[in-house]
Structure 1
Amino acid sequence: MGDGYEDDEQFDSVYANDEITDLIGLNVRDQLKQSGLSLIELLKRDKESCEGKDSDIAWYHHKIPRESAESLLKEGLRSLQGHSDGLFLIRDSTSSEKDFVVSVTHDAKVYHFQIKEVFDGHYKIDEGPTTQGLEKIVNYYQNGANGLITRLTKHCKGSAPPDRARVTGPTNILHKTVLQGTTCLHDAAKYGRTEIAKLLIEHEADVHIKDRAGFTPLHRACASNYPEVIEVLIKHGNADPQTRAPKTGWVALHEAAMHGYPDCIKKLLHFHAPMMPRADDNQTPLDLAKRYNRLDCIDFLQFPDRRDVRSKRSNWYHSGLDRKGANAVLENFRKEEGLFLVRKSTRNQNFNVLSLCHKKAVFNFEIKVMEYQDQLVHYIDDGPFFQSLEHLIDHYSRYADGLSAKLRASVNPGNDRIEIEEDYYNIASNVDNAHRKSAGPPPVPSNRPVLPPRPPEPEEDEDFYAAVDNDQSNAKPPPLPPSHPPKVAPSVKKQESHPPAPSLGERQTSFEEFKKISNKDIKLGGELGQGEFGAVKKAVYTIKRGFAKHTIDVAVKTFHEDGALAGALASIMEEARLMQRLDHVCIVKLYGICEQPFMLVEEFISKGSMLDNLIDHRKNIKVNPTLYLWAAQIASGMCYLEEQKIVHRDLAARNILVQNMDQVKISDFGLSRAYMEEKNYYQASKGGRWPIKWYAPECVNYGKFTHKTDVWSFGVTLYEMFSWGEQPYGDKKGIEVMQFIESGKRLSRPEDCPDTCYEMMLKCWAKEPEKRPTFGDLFEHFCADKEYASVKDISKLKTKRKR
């Protein structure tokens, strides 16, 4: 036995009744006996040992900006005399609280790659493998470039990664005693050790970390009926009561209701937890209380919710505003972070829309209404039910809970900015209000997805609530699908290693095929939207012919100079190469490129996407002749693409731009590809997310794209047009859509769609591609059918097709 204690009896007299050693278990007590050290001394020694082991993974630099990362790496290169490709560091992403960025050097330049969190603690870069913990992903790219610009070598010294992003987290003796995949804070919560929980939080224990079963300490406290621990976790640790368990989607209130603990329910509601959160199967805590006959809990879990709200409807409700009007109002305040308003939905008069500013963009979330427990409730996506709009706004002003930002201030109909006041209990509303000390910012506690701060990519689950306001649809299309995906649910193909891409300044030779435009002839204006690799801006292009000059408005795609662009440049150049070949009145024109800085200069289409026009300006659009004319023009442009042997692969209302009521143009050729003459189809070869709701079955099942698959997409686009922008297939997920189609079902006829048009839609959706009409057939149909007689009178339509 160690020198500190003469015998077991003396040791037990000191520690047998100690709450801490009782909690941490016999393993630690054995170590204390053997070493003769006190618990504090033993923990201190173990901490020093852990810090030594963590030096090899001290590449984490918290939430530093891109410029600081580049400065640190360039300073490191100077100390290494510039001979170290692969010098790197990892930092928090500025676009997502869950993601990270690896910044790495190559040829004395710094490149940045997003590390996406796929699910709790599992990460990937681009189409690389998904690995558990940042240590493993770093180790993978230290063993080879594997798609990065170079292999990771040395690192700029920082600190070890945060516990939530590590494979095992800290390895001190407290954690070594945990055999069931829990931390000491989980055990303190489970066994009601309030003072220990408070002490652990004071020493920066992570209140959001999940145990092996996916539960947070707050879940454990609720399941064990310890309301005092709940108060400590929320009040002192900023625990989020809306964090979901991954297997069920239960939040803490579900646990308290299922176990029948009214005191825990009252404590959670005291800290403004929503009364009606929903699990993955849509069950509320009230449903659970009724199922398990928890009679003493039911009264606390059903409406009315009598808690005070901090904001009045008159502070934020605009009954006569549409999307563009809301955007203009918020623009008056420079789209301040967290600024919002609520307006009537233009697609469904029973719904409302929350327009919210985040990172200088406006996100629109549809607030739906349904009947639940004999009462109308309001909700966003899979969020909680609320008895009124006022309660919904109050909740999202306390917790972001899946929105892109927390609501901070509103604009009223009088155009006044009104701040939402913080209150005492709002310290738990979001991690950005945390006051505890920390080496870096805490993670977003909720595992609901946080919407990206750029326009969402079209994918199988795209929906209205995630739409971003832009005058023009400029979001970059999703990556290409894999060459041989398994049926319905495509897998990710491992990206092969490729040689480092040169910087933009070194690529002059690849630009020779393009028309060059001097950047002196381009005067950039306001931003139209954000893409994955940069911004789209309105600009004025000065065209010189001899001594004569004239100006036109253009849309300019600008790009960040970083590693993400280097990896995607081939795709960007392929899009530009295709667009340069195209010359048709129904297709957006590429005027040329600027080299320094690198920009694509395209035709400016003033009225934005057809989808936005269908939703926002329905009253100004006539079924006959406007929709018929637009359908004919889209078919005309697609005929031209067919002649050029180009498949579009992303034909949808969001990618049709409106120049005026008499002219639309096909845009967004990021997914478009030319095929070889002998194949007559394009075979996709890269992994990625797909706009499945617009895809024919053979696209999803075999990665095969032809003009006949574009025809299928044209049919879905017609559905969008004649339903005034309705989401195809409603709320169905991608796999549900494919099952729906393969069962022989098709989208139903929109109310304002003529029978002849719907019959043509159904032909576009024929199971056998050869039975689908050609774009020539479609063009003739929309020009010649008696339903569309007035379209014939639109001047020059026939000649447009022939060009």
Structure 2
Amino acid sequence: MIKKFAKYAPNKISAKEVETELIRSREETLKLSQDSNYYHESVDRSIAEKLLKDYYNKYGETLDGLFLIRKCSASLGDYSLSMICKGVCYHYRVNHSIDAYYVLDDGPLIHGLDELIKHYRLDPHGLPCRLSTRFVPNSILPSISRVLGYTNPLHLACSCVAEVNKVKLILKSSNKPDINEKDDFGRTALHIACEYDNINALEELIEANAIVNIRARDGSTPLHTAAEFGSIQCLEYLLKCGRANPMERNMTNNWVPLHEAASRDHYTCVNALLNYGLPDKPRTSDNQTPLDLAIECGHKRTAQILRNFIPIESRIKMNEFLHDASVTREKAKQLLDGYKYDNGRYLVRKTQRDENIFVLSLMFNEEFFNYEICLKDQSNGRYYFIDDGPYFRSLPQLIEHYSKYEDGLPGLLTRPISPNVDIVRSSFNNNNTKFSNQPVTRQTSILSSSSLQNQQLQDILTKQLMQTSISSNSSNNFKMDTLSKTNLFKSRTLLNENKRSATNQLSRKLSKISINEIQLQAIIGEGEFGTVYKGTYNGKQVAVKRLKDSTASNDFMREADIMGTFNNPCILKIFGLVQDKNCLMMVQELMICSILEKLWNSPNEVTENHLKLWSSQIALGMQHMEEQKIVHRDLAARNVLLASMSQIKISDFGLSRSTDAFTNAYTQTTEDVWSYGITLWEMFSYGDQPYGNMNGSEVYMYIQSGQRLQRPASCPKNTYKVMLQCWDWEEDKRPTFRELNQFFQNDNDYQKTLTVLKSFR
């Protein structure tokens, strides 16, 4: 239980006293957690069955429902529930949703693994029997997965403003508790610091990489707590320095921090949130806005602030994105297909059936989405909204909001398709190339990558950058008009066609898998030409890529054939092909997510050591490709996948080719080396967009003038030196991947690579 300390309690405590208190607290926690130490981190399915059967054989049917929880090796963040009933073992995937929310099969979404266990102890809910109060003991669940924890000295210190020195000592100690551990009430140290407006403790916690958007038992984030208690210092620090998401909703009532501040008359917090550029009319699950709550609670001053608030006029203009009703769903898809590799491209179109309804069409991860934008008349004006999102006074304000916050969409909106310009060029772009002369504009973290920028450089700079030495004083030497771009497309298309005739013969070396050996489960991805399923093959979980457009079968077979030539721990493995009548499927390793997704979604979980390890592994994989005389041509952080936090796999070989197929110098491995440098920059900048908002021509002039991307703050100097070598203007001066791999193996900071190499051998 948190005690209400005096706000300015004595601040005299020694490091030795702190150590003693931490050790005693750990011992008490171990005693208290005896009834929940059912977690086995490194146990696989077979060992789990042995443990369960050993206990069951010893005690008999009285142990029906005996269980354990183990880490899921196939998916980061997921867990597996293993149980035994009537002598038979069962295994269930416990899927991680957000924060500490989990779901078992098609059951309810439950906050906390500990609460999920309680749920299935009360009733089987589809399991063969209820979970028993008995389990195979080992250790307590990770704190990040639990909704309730045990109050520790860090929680207590954060509740007292004067004990910042104690907070520092605790965080420096080798015996410190998990910084994200929850207390008896389900609150983290960050929540407690915000409750007491303990700004000094908050700064220390964020500096120590506490998760800023973590949820307490009641579903609130630390920013919710700061708004609830009127802790203005903490609120402003979380927004400006902690990068907290002010549009995170409480899972229980859909409240955002602005609702909390308005309902409690904390008008200084209301002003701070509005001045941060947030919408003033987000809605709760009961459809109430902050103004509705302020009026309901009788908070006149807060209500006046909200009633008189006038949002800043949007910088986005209606004619940049709004298309008339002649643009149907099919036409919108045709337009966006020209930018399918450009995440966040969008347009808004009017509907023929109702003049008060618009549709937002969006391309994300090569998938086409449509969202109705409804119009609502109220006494004080007309408002636009999507689903249960905020009300906006105009379409441009709505678009600008979703350009800053996903807020329910699959990703951020980036660049619109103009009704005047992009319709003309969509027919040119609607081929099977990845060219776009418009770069992704990333205003905040979105699911995109450097692949587009790399491809722009490859398409725009190829012969210029790889073959020609251009004087930095001649600004007219670089003029890439539409005709030259078209010719470049033609040359690449011809090269592709020359290779297609050999793909069916080459694919014979791949294993042929019977369709009966594959069990398809949930869809985990879908594009225009194919669907990716989670499935099983030979008792292991796999990813199954199924082709649904037969016109792309040659490209599909070529990619499979190229993958089949690799045998390297750092390249995604293909198990074989399924060819059954009209069904063509590729069976691959199942991965967790891409590096880029990890950097954007969970940056606090990625340390410098992870980045160093991943850098060396990418170099190892690319060295193998280099030795096989294969160029990737699309190396980027989004195409490097995580098998675990200590193992990456290079993927996406749709553009890869054999160097023997090319006579032009621009398609050699030096192109991949340049992209490797960009990929490292993406990683050490934690997913920032290379070159910002510059278009292809601007990037070329920037590079040609001798400028290069600046060293990210978290990037070691020797690693940045490697990047600069990869970006040498003269291609023959760039290192080979063999040389890059040797650099990492010889550097003391990168010795973890050797462990991977030894395990592979």
Q: Which TM-score band applies after superposition, normalised by the shorter structure?
A: 0.3 to 0.5
Task: Return the TM-score normalized by structure 2.
Answer: 0.44
Task: Return the TM-score normalized by structure 1.
Answer: 0.42
Structure with the greater relative contact order (CA < 8 A, sep ≥ 6): 1 or 2?
1
